[in-house]
Amino acid sequence: MNRKKWAIATLAMLACLAMPCYPQQTAQQQDDEEEVAPSKPRPAPKDAGFGAPEVVAPTPNSHQQQGTDFKVPETVSPDELPAKKGASETSSSGTNPLMGAARARLIQVRNATDIRVKGAQPFRMHAIFSGMSDSELASGGTYTELWLSSTRWRREAVVGQVHVVESRDGDKLYRQIVGREYAPRMLDDLLDALYLTYPPLGVSSFNESDWQQGTMLYAGASALRMSTGFSATGPSTDARAYWLNTDGLPIAAYRFGTTVEYADYDAWNGKQVARHLNVKEGGVKLAGIWIDQLDSAPAETGTQFALGGVTPIPLNDEGYSGPYFVAPHPVHQVSPKDPPAGAGSISIKVSLDQHGHVRSAKVQKGINDALDDAAEKAAMQWEFSPALIKGRPSPSEATVEFTF
């Protein structure tokens, strides 16, 4: 029987007024970098040209081998979602005398791997996206980035007919999507994966007691796991986890339900850069990233960082006169496919990331288990415009309602 289905969405502001998670640096992050500037001298800049190489899918290599002097604890966990690991791994809360303070550890990792810190050498990067599980993006794509400083950069991703451009020009951030009204969630996950993000590391903003550390196995290798925001009921909206190898380099990082794995480290400009990344969700690989070119760039170029015709995203409150909060609204709606029998309405609470992608869904009011499950799966495929707080994209929540 053909039943007419319709859906509406009502919107609710997330309690946490989070800053957007686009690749950018807050004033506090820049202060952290100045506080812990790397002491290693950088090699002389290379004046290498940059040209797009042939787009050929590289052969994936295995994870970097781990050292043999690392003591594996008796209690270890398999490579599962972070929310499932905490009960069985050896861990401690807050400052761990064995592992060291969480903040200090994260600063060490950032100093060792982040090529985009304040004062870093300008560079050009080219990467290949492949092995994508989304049928619309199965052909793969490419990524290019020109980074001159923490306040002047531009990056572009092209997959199929979708072209995403993000750039920063001083205190203005730009984002442009061509070919669709919204960027596919997987494409934004790939863009986010290329920037290993950290929580605010300022002394006043970082709470050691929120973090747990423990030794465990990840993909069969010894690892130190650092995590926050996980409980018996599952991860919070801003839960994070990092797995480090015995050299203190990231093996994997978790945020917004997505895990990014890092391998094939290569020394560049005094940093260690992972050339091969895998993006996973629920233990299933969604796509791979291969950084096949990374060269120094001249400090000045003719590249335009301000995108014409695009309203910039303000990075601070200075001069902002718009509305304090702009609610997200649906830009792509999906109805349950071949829903089982039932009549009435189903209300589902969805959590959105800073791009407007649905990251989790939970039935608040249902009809029956089968129909509720079908509606929940449909809600996970909705897309929204991002919520704006003082003009800046922010995580938020919405309520999706299906009536049968």
| pLDDT band with cut points at 50, 70 and 90 for residue 203 | confident
Q: Can you give the pLDDT at residue 158?
A: 93
Which one has a higher pLDDT value, 137 or 124?
A: 124
Cα(59)–Cα(41) distance, integer angstroms: 33
Residue bearing tokens 């309405």: 345
Q: Can you give the pLDDT at residue 99?
A: 52
Q: Find the mean pLDDT for residues 45-69.
A: 36
| pLDDT band with cut points at 50, 70 and 90 for residue 148 | very high
Cα(137)–Cα(115) distance, integer angstroms: 28
Which one has a higher pLDDT value, 266 or 34?
A: 266
Cα(286)–Cα(68) distance, integer angstroms: 31
Give which of 366, 377, 383, 364 is closest to 335, Cα–Cα: 377
Which one has a higher pLDDT value, 233 or 364?
A: 364
Backbone phi, psi, residue 266, to 5°: -140, 135
| pLDDT band with cut points at 50, 70 and 90 for residue 234 | confident
Residue 300 buriedness (CB in 10 A; 0-12 / 13-18 / 19+):
exposed
Which 8-state DSSP code applies to residue 100? B
Which one has a higher pLDDT value, 45 or 243?
A: 243
pLDDT-above-70 percentage for the chain: 75
Q: What are the residues whose beta carbons fall under 8 Å from the beta carbon of 49, sequence distance 6 or more?
A: 295
Q: Can you give the pLDDT at residue 26?
A: 41
- Would you state the structure tokens that stand for residue 392, as one six-digit string? 């800046």
| pLDDT band with cut points at 50, 70 and 90 for residue 232 | confident
- Would you state the structure tokens that stand for residue 303, as one six-digit string? 């590249």
Which helix (H) or strand (E) segment holds residue 34: the answer is helix 27-35
Range of lowest pLDDT (55-59, 124-128, 227-231, 335-339): 55-59
Question: pTM for this structure?
Answer: 0.76
Q: Can you give the pLDDT at residue 19?
A: 42
